[in-house]
Structure 1
Amino acid sequence: MQQERSRRSNRERSDTTRAAIIDAAHALFVDKGYADTATPEIVAAAGLTRGALYHHFEDKKSLFRAVIEREAREVAATIEQFAPDGLAPREALLAGAAAYFDAMAVPGRVRLLLLDGPAVLGVTEMAAIDAAHGGRTLEEGLSAAMAPHRLKEKAVKAMAFLLSAAFDRAALEIDAGAARADYAYAIDRLIDRLIDP
């Protein structure tokens, strides 16, 4: 029993340390960008040592990947929260679209996921991260909404990929100061045209 408690407390300490590193890195990556953030700054902000950082992460890039994965999970969770099971496919897609724009309005998220992420990790790795989180939800939603058209799975996958790119481009424009309502309207009309051509 004592040994089990000790293992649990060691794991909890390790999880707490890892979270502190990710939190500190997130704040610095948002504020300064990946390229201008050094690992000594991260450990100083986390109140830890470089040894602690390298115990949990191979290098700055692997730490950045952990930050990106957490952000992608949070975006997907927001979408799933506001587009719950039980909605009709069209309503789920429209609710998911609005939730995506809400999720991407979190300060720094556009920079991390749409600018620095592809530049640091590459487009292929970012696509894999997206597919593991929000991309899967979008593809499932389109597939359900387009079921009457009996499109091939590859066609639905391609449409989801292209629609995802439109979402990302809209988020970049909104982050740069464009009116969200204009882009939300355009995305909603695009969804309608895709599911009811």
Structure 2
Amino acid sequence: MTRDTGARAEQRARTRRTLLREGRRLFAEHGYTGVGLAGIVDAAQVTKGALYHHFDGKADLFRAVLAQTQEEVGAAVAAAADAHTHPWDQLTAGCRAFLTASTAPDVRRIMLVDGPAVLGWREWRALDEASSAHHLTESLTALVDAGVIDPRPVAPLAHLLSGAMNEAALWLADTGGDGDLEEVWTALAGLLEPLRRTSRARPAEPERGRPSGR
């Protein structure tokens, strides 16, 4: 790769990062319908041609912003869960991390409100499955394998818990600060606890690195 080629590649990468950053800021502040292409390119200080070089249009840029947002939430869930070794503690830490991360104003607007409306439920769900919901499915599978919860189909349980946490995060955000994260977490923990086999001793803790969380 020549120096000129490398410089052009870096410029393209920088332009893409700028479009993602400014697009995310605008989508979070004004919502998808309140943002136009002209506003995006003005904020990013690029031409429409530059935007179309990287994205097919506003919807495609939003899709990339949403994927980035979901990846960040998934990373927060995984990091919180990886701080623990027991699979049950990984599950609860990951769920709590999801609630905390998803109530951030930009995450809530992009991921939970506009995401399903703009992309449609099926595509939104596919992106969710690749990020935080993937960690939840792996965590529940680990719990079944470890004998912490009774054997059961994991997929429907993961979808039910994911839906409950999405609704809880939306409610927290919609209360405008009146909702209490601790109260929501207590309610969610009350839904999780009956899944655990409490009549037997906790199994030996597995090695670190088991997947986790929501």
TM-score scaled by length of structure 2: 0.85
Residue 114 of structure 1 deviates from its aligned partner by: 0.9
- What SS does the aligned partner of 1:48 have? coil
Residue 4 of structure 1 deviates from its aligned partner by: 4.0
Residue 36 of structure 1 deviates from its aligned partner by: 1.3
Q: Which residue of 2 aligns with 1:191?
A: 192
Q: Which residue of 1 aligns with 2:205?
A: none
Tell me how far apart the structure 2 counterparts of residues 162 and 127 of structure 1 sit (CA, whole Å).
13
Percent of aligned pairs sharing the same letter: 34
Check whether the contact 2:105–2:173 (CA below 8 A) recurs between aligned residues.
no
Could you tell which deviates more after superposition, 15-24 or 81-90? 81-90
Q: Which residue of 2 aligns with 1:16?
A: 14
Q: Which residue of 2 aligns with 1:167?
A: 165
Amino acid at match of 1:77: A
Residue 106 of structure 1 deviates from its aligned partner by: 2.2
Tell me how far apart the structure 2 counterparts of residues 83 and 168 of structure 1 sit (CA, whole Å).
18
Q: Which of 124, 127, 132 is matched with 1:134 structurally? A: 132
Tell me how far apart the structure 1 counterparts of residues 2 and 130 of structure 2 sit (CA, whole Å).
33
Q: Which residue of 2 aligns with 1:61?
A: 59
Question: Pairwise CA RMSD of aligned residues?
Answer: 1.5
Matched, 1:150 2:151: yes
Check whether the contact 1:146–1:195 (CA below 8 A) recurs between aligned residues.
no
Check whether the contact 1:71–1:109 (CA below 8 A) recurs between aligned residues.
yes
Matched, 1:87 2:90: no
TM-score scaled by length of structure 1: 0.92
Q: Which residue of 2 aligns with 1:180?
A: 181
Q: Which residue of 1 aligns with 2:207?
A: none
Tell me how far apart the structure 1 counterparts of residues 84 and 36 of structure 2 sit (CA, whole Å).
46
Could you tell which deviates more after superposition, 96-105 or 117-126? 96-105
Check whether the contact 1:142–1:195 (CA below 8 A) recurs between aligned residues.
no
Amino acid at match of 2:124: M
Tell me how far apart the structure 2 counterparts of residues 133 and 11 of structure 1 sit (CA, whole Å).
28
Amino acid at match of 2:96: A
Amino acid at match of 1:91: D
CA deviation map 1:126-168 (0-9, x unaligned): 11001111111000101111232232xxx20110011000000
Tell me how far apart the structure 1 counterparts of residues 36 and 143 of structure 2 sit (CA, whole Å).
46
Residue 40 of structure 1 deviates from its aligned partner by: 0.5
Q: Which residue of 1 aligns with 2:109?
A: 111
Check whether the contact 2:103–2:170 (CA below 8 A) recurs between aligned residues.
no
Give structure 1 stretches of 5+ with no counterpart.
none
Residue 104 of structure 1 deviates from its aligned partner by: 1.3
Taking a change above 3 Å as real, the CA distance of residues 157 and 4 of structure 1, as seen in their structure-2 partners, is farther
Check whether the contact 2:73–2:98 (CA below 8 A) recurs between aligned residues.
yes
- What SS does the aligned partner of 1:87 have? coil
Amino acid at match of 1:40: A
Check whether the contact 2:67–2:127 (CA below 8 A) recurs between aligned residues.
yes
